Amino acid sequence: MAAESFAFNIAEKVLDKLATIAYQEICRVCGVQSDLEKLKKTLTTIKAVLLDAEEKQTHDNQLRIWLQEVKDACYDAEDVLDEFEIEALRKQVLKQRGFGKKVTNFFSSSNPIAFRFRMAHKMKKATERFGEIAALKNNFHLTERHDGTSHVVRLDRETHSFVQAADIIGRDEDKKKIITTLMQDPTDGKDTHVLPIVGIGGLGKTALAKLVFNDESVGRHFDLKMWVCVSDDFDLKTLMIKMIKAAKGRGRL
């Protein structure tokens, strides 16, 4: 039931985010705790009928429109939650890097009062939108179901940067060329911003990238390096969050 549970899975993802302690604390600080609780309650009631709705939408155009509105609202709500998380991570990174108030005050968009006001408005709008959607669901006489599962089978990419060099044979020359390119003097006008490794599946592109990433000379050359896995379900905000987290911990994601 891959396609059938699409809206259900999106709603579940948003609810999972809303349930985390981190989001609850962020919302408390921003003064939107009541809207957060109301949003969770409303979205939970909507989610309960989504499986039934997606099975019946084939023969009901109005139901299809309603489901699309649910998905759009969930995506927009997730964007709002991502803003909260990005702001929280940004502050942590600045604090750990010792930039402090000097950097925070430089950017007008980072004004805490303005941010709280803007986010409180967005949370209120999201809550009202889901309230309207929940009210409309009664028009379709849907049955509550809670057995949402996805039967999609997919092979995930390796998300870590560790590799056994002994397992990689015959790539020393390629590795040296890439490292040389990465470490070129930027003053010569050849500073490398993006270096793609292209080839058919199974050729060892990821393994080669790991060899370069873990090379000692690369570690000495760059002040900060991050391993971020970009999945097939590419999402720019999610990728940004991963990068900020990696920068914060000087780690790899």
Tens of pLDDT, residue by residue over 40-94, are 999 999 999 999 999 899 889 999 999 999 999 999 998 888 888 777 777 776 6
Mean pLDDT of 194-200: 74
Tens of pLDDT, residue by residue over 145-174, are 876 444 433 334 444 554 444 444 557 888
Quickly count: other Cβ atoms within 10 Å of residue 29's Cβ: 13
The torsion defined by the Cα of 213, 218, 219 and 223, in degrees rounded to 10, comes to -110
Residue 169 half-sphere exposure toward CB, CA atoms < 13 A: 1
**Does pLDDT of 199 surpass 80?**
no
Where do the domains of the chain lie? 6-138, 165-249
At 19, list the tokens: 């349930």
Going from the C-alpha of 214 to that of each of 44, 160, 163, 224, 225, the distances in angstroms are 44, 11, 8, 12, 10
Predicted structure pTM score: 0.56
Q: How far is CA 130 from the centre of its chain?
A: 22
| Residue whose token pair is 């919302």 | 27
Alpha helices in 183-223 (DSSP H): 205-213, 216-221
* Of 85, 77, 65, residue with least CA distance to 38: 77
Contacts 24+ apart (CB under 8 A), 62-71: 62/139, 62/140, 63/140, 66/133, 66/136, 66/137, 66/140, 67/7, 69/133, 70/7, 70/10, 70/11, 70/46, 70/133, 71/6, 71/7, 71/10
